Chains A and B, each alone.
Chain A
């Protein structure tokens, strides 16, 4: 303690009254909490997440607790909560709960175990596919928004075509011809590197000026690609691609991801177009930040809100798409259960065993609905203009 001669404590300092300090997350949570439906969505989402992760552990491995592939032909089409006939089953065939929580299907497999296994598929498909689409979308949108005014020259386009066709020929075992094209491309790249100088196109002969003409702006190119991608009915595009590729869960994730990035691209581009003109971007530029740093460290966090919202709703769409593909038999190959193929297998017995269709159907409905509610709640919180005034 530091007491002066008048008896005042010198260490004491007055604290100015301050507004309660909240981080962004706390403020966000305060607003989000008011939306009951969104909270419900979040709750179901977390429940689904836990189920899927738990399901992965108890349905896989050499000796799983719930075996989704265990066939008990004598126990087929048992309704939910039915007790198994203990006499006819071997010891390892008895379900570990002592009854069939969700009944059995036409091969006597435990539907509950299959639903658990399918939950993991839906979860991973949802997240990985949306992850891929968001990454592509952010990249394309960021480039279109930030570098949109830059132009692509004719020679760039020609070289890209050469490169792709060269690679294609090599892949198609016409190695010699493909290699020639690839070498041509490389040679041109080196040539343009060496002739490049800052003052520009002095060293270019006049006939080559055609190749140096700027053809399209980056923005136009990317946004037209987006428009073209949006023209395809994406479900049928996915069907075609999946029919050509070997059926596996990873292919499906990638294909769904590759056909759903357009929305994100448009969002990110629109955000970037307005952010690019903001003063703080100019301020960061004067600090000597590189373009990469400006895009990903300074602009992206400002543009991420709408992306997050569309991603949440995108997860629901991806789950639905995967279920649809599995239902049509193009999805994950049969021994592996997904909600879509449980539904598809069950449709033959819809009058004898309605639970086979209702259980996966309701599960899909609830999960997709919860994602949509959560996404909309998120949008309301992140976009102050849409916030309801009470």
Chain B
């Protein structure tokens, strides 16, 4: 599994949050890997554990309520869960960087752009003031901000949303990381800016030969940038495969439902499909397959047995034995 090409591999990660006597199983045993120079998408609706998985890679789960209940996160061969805080600080920003959802609030309002990008560099690298400035200008240029020298002295409130997200990307790029985790970086932006940011991420990834772990709920974005896709539902992966497999040959009823609810030209004038019901409360998940209460193909076994991943070949896996081989997947 862990060949030389694997950059990070998460194995059976479980993240639980204990509040009072409830235990919310936000991430309940997920395994995935990101190879070098690859874009991997985690797709799922709100509250299914996407962000929690990203934060646990960086070791930023607040630990009194949260708890990493099991699993391993191997990054370049090292298990990140066993590192102490000091070593994690050397990895954060330096080897793994993150871009957040809200560019409006992710920048500190009292510092200039130069201060913040400079800070991202100087936390990890020891460079002089002159070189720091040059690097800041270069980074701003790389992320496509016009007249970077003038922008350096600006405060975040003087920039537009798209520019702020570019600054956030510049900060993430500051130490030339191997992996960028982008947590819905385009959700707060309008569609034209969204396309620009996606294009930017793609080109940067190509130039710098980085890997990107892209977290989103937007299947349109996924189709645009992903090499491989993991579909997440209620803390587990329901389906995984490359982009073509997921979009043209979806095997899990959840993925099929998601795709059916996308607006498209052929469905013009018709009512959009929506998956009935809501995501289960992570503290009280249904027994068996977590999706069965909303699933159109559910059979009695679904409520009892936890489904296994079924192999459809060429790395395409789906956690639905019912649809495998005409309905007798459970043995």
Residue positions of A touching B, CB distance < 8 A = 19, 21, 24, 149-150, 198, 278-280, 282-290, 293, 297-298, 301-302
Whether A283 and B168, one on each chain, are in contact in the complex, defined by CB atoms closer than 8 angstroms, is yes
Whether A286 and B98, one on each chain, are in contact in the complex, defined by CB atoms closer than 8 angstroms, is yes
B287: Cβ under 8 A from any A Cβ? no
A-contacting residues, B75-93, CB 8 Å: 82, 84, 88-93
Which stretch from B14-22, B107-115, B131-139, B201-209 is at the chain A interface? B107-115
Max chain B CB contacts within 10 Å: which of A149, A285, A288, A293?
A288
Whether B82 and A302, one on each chain, are in contact in the complex, defined by CB atoms closer than 8 angstroms, is no
Tell me the bound Cα distance from A297 to B120 in angstroms: 13
B32: Cβ under 8 A from any A Cβ? no
**What does the 1/0 interface line of B92-113 toward A look like (CB < 8 Å)?**
1110011011100111111100
Whether B108 and A298, one on each chain, are in contact in the complex, defined by CB atoms closer than 8 angstroms, is yes
Whether B60 and A288, one on each chain, are in contact in the complex, defined by CB atoms closer than 8 angstroms, is no
Please judge, given known A-B contacts A301-B110, A302-B109, whether A288 and B155 are in contact too, CB under 8 Å.
Answer: no
B171: Cβ under 8 A from any A Cβ? yes
Q: Which residues of B contact A289 (CB under 8 A)?
A: 89, 93, 119, 123
Whether A288 and B109, one on each chain, are in contact in the complex, defined by CB atoms closer than 8 angstroms, is no
Whether A283 and B123, one on each chain, are in contact in the complex, defined by CB atoms closer than 8 angstroms, is no
Q: Which residues of A contact B97 (CB under 8 A)?
A: 286-287
Tell me the bound Cα distance from A140 to B174 in angstroms: 34
Tell me the bound Cα distance from A279 to B55 in angstroms: 13
Whether A302 and B108, one on each chain, are in contact in the complex, defined by CB atoms closer than 8 angstroms, is yes
Tell me the bound Cα distance from A283 to B164 in angstroms: 13
Tell me the bound Cα distance from A278 to B102 in angstroms: 10
B58: Cβ under 8 A from any A Cβ? yes
Q: Which residues of A contact B91 (CB under 8 A)?
A: 288
Return the contact of A286 from the options B82, B93, B155, B158 (Cβ within 8 A). B93
Q: Which residues of A contact B276 (CB under 8 A)?
A: none
Q: Which residues of A contact B92 (CB under 8 A)?
A: 285-288
Q: For B108, give the chain A residue with the smallest CB separation.
A: A280
Q: Which residues of A contact B64 (CB under 8 A)?
A: 149-150
Q: For A302, give the chain B residue with the smallest CB separation.
A: B110
**What does the 1/0 interface line of B144-178 toward A look like (CB < 8 Å)?**
00000000010100100000000010010010000
Q: Which residues of B contact A284 (CB under 8 A)?
A: 108, 119
Whether B123 and A198, one on each chain, are in contact in the complex, defined by CB atoms closer than 8 angstroms, is no
Q: Which residues of A contact B60 (CB under 8 A)?
A: 282, 285-286
For the complex formed, measure the closest distance between the CB of B3 and the CB atoms of chain A, giving whole angstroms.
Answer: 28
Whether A288 and B93, one on each chain, are in contact in the complex, defined by CB atoms closer than 8 angstroms, is yes
Q: For A283, give the chain B residue with the smallest CB separation.
A: B106
Q: Which residues of B contact A297 (CB under 8 A)?
A: 119
Whether A279 and B102, one on each chain, are in contact in the complex, defined by CB atoms closer than 8 angstroms, is yes
Max chain B CB contacts within 10 Å: which of A280, A297, A298?
A280
Please judge, given known A-B contacts A279-B105, A283-B168, A302-B109, whether A288 and B84 are in contact too, CB under 8 Å.
Answer: no
Tell me the bound Cα distance from A290 to B90 in angstroms: 10
Whether B89 and A286, one on each chain, are in contact in the complex, defined by CB atoms closer than 8 angstroms, is no
Whether A198 and B84, one on each chain, are in contact in the complex, defined by CB atoms closer than 8 angstroms, is yes
Tell me the bound Cα distance from A171 to B65 in angstroms: 43
Q: Which residues of A contact B106 (CB under 8 A)?
A: 279-280, 282-283
Tell me the bound Cα distance from A289 to B102 in angstroms: 20
Tell me the bound Cα distance from A349 to B218 in angstroms: 85
Return the contact of A287 from the options B84, B120, B155 (Cβ within 8 A). B120
Q: A150-B64, A279-B106, A289-B93 are in contact. List 6 more A-B contacts (CB 8 A).
A: A24-B155, A279-B105, A284-B108, A286-B100, A301-B110, A302-B109
Mostly, the B contact residues are loop
Whether B94 and A288, one on each chain, are in contact in the complex, defined by CB atoms closer than 8 angstroms, is yes
Return the contact of B82 from the options A198, A283, A298 (Cβ within 8 A). A198
Q: Which residues of B contact A150 (CB under 8 A)?
A: 64
8 A-B residue pairings within 8 Å (CB atoms)? A19-B158, A24-B155, A279-B101, A284-B108, A286-B92, A287-B119, A290-B89, A302-B110
Pairs of residues from A and B, 5 with the lowest C-beta to C-beta distance, nearest first: A287-B93, A288-B93, A288-B92, A286-B98, A279-B105
Whether A288 and B171, one on each chain, are in contact in the complex, defined by CB atoms closer than 8 angstroms, is no
Q: Which residues of B contact A301 (CB under 8 A)?
A: 108, 110-111
Q: Which residues of B contact A149 (CB under 8 A)?
A: 62, 64
Tell me the bound Cα distance from A211 to B105 in angstroms: 42
Tell me the bound Cα distance from A198 to B105 in angstroms: 34
Q: Which residues of A contact B120 (CB under 8 A)?
A: 287
Tell me the bound Cα distance from A317 to B92 in angstroms: 46
For the complex formed, measure the closest distance between the CB of A142 and the CB atoms of chain B, giving whole angstroms.
Answer: 16
Whether A283 and B119, one on each chain, are in contact in the complex, defined by CB atoms closer than 8 angstroms, is no
For the complex formed, measure the closest distance between the CB of A197 and the CB atoms of chain B, giving whole angstroms.
Answer: 11
Whether A288 and B107, one on each chain, are in contact in the complex, defined by CB atoms closer than 8 angstroms, is no
Max chain B CB contacts within 10 Å: which of A278, A283, A285, A301?
A283
B294: Cβ under 8 A from any A Cβ? no
Tell me the bound Cα distance from A285 to B119 in angstroms: 12
Tell me the bound Cα distance from A289 to B82 in angstroms: 19
For the complex formed, measure the closest distance between the CB of A196 and the CB atoms of chain B, giving whole angstroms.
Answer: 11
Return the contact of A280 from the options B105, B123, B155 (Cβ within 8 A). B105
Q: For B146, give the chain A residue with the smallest CB separation.
A: A16
Q: Which residues of A contact B124 (CB under 8 A)?
A: 288
Q: Which residues of B contact A302 (CB under 8 A)?
A: 108-110
Q: For A303, give the chain B residue with the smallest CB separation.
A: B110
For the complex formed, measure the closest distance between the CB of A293 and the CB atoms of chain B, giving whole angstroms.
Answer: 7
Return the contact of A279 from the options B84, B100, B111, B155 (Cβ within 8 A). B100
Whether B82 and A288, one on each chain, are in contact in the complex, defined by CB atoms closer than 8 angstroms, is no
A-contacting residues, B173-188, CB 8 Å: 174
Q: For A214, give the chain B residue with the smallest CB separation.
A: B64
Q: Which residues of A contact B101 (CB under 8 A)?
A: 279
Tell me the bound Cα distance from A10 to B158 in angstroms: 29
Q: Which residues of A contact B155 (CB under 8 A)?
A: 24
For the complex formed, measure the closest distance between the CB of B47 and the CB atoms of chain A, giving whole angstroms.
Answer: 18
Return the contact of B89 from the options A283, A288, A298 (Cβ within 8 A). A288
For the complex formed, measure the closest distance between the CB of A341 and the CB atoms of chain B, giving whole angstroms.
Answer: 43
Tell me the bound Cα distance from A362 to B102 in angstroms: 54
Whether A278 and B93, one on each chain, are in contact in the complex, defined by CB atoms closer than 8 angstroms, is no
Q: Which residues of A contact B158 (CB under 8 A)?
A: 19
Q: For A217, give the chain B residue with the smallest CB separation.
A: B64
Tell me the bound Cα distance from A92 to B119 in angstroms: 61
Tell me the bound Cα distance from A285 to B85 in angstroms: 11
For the complex formed, measure the closest distance between the CB of A127 and the CB atoms of chain B, giving whole angstroms.
Answer: 24
Tell me the bound Cα distance from A243 to B293 in angstroms: 76
Whether A293 and B108, one on each chain, are in contact in the complex, defined by CB atoms closer than 8 angstroms, is no
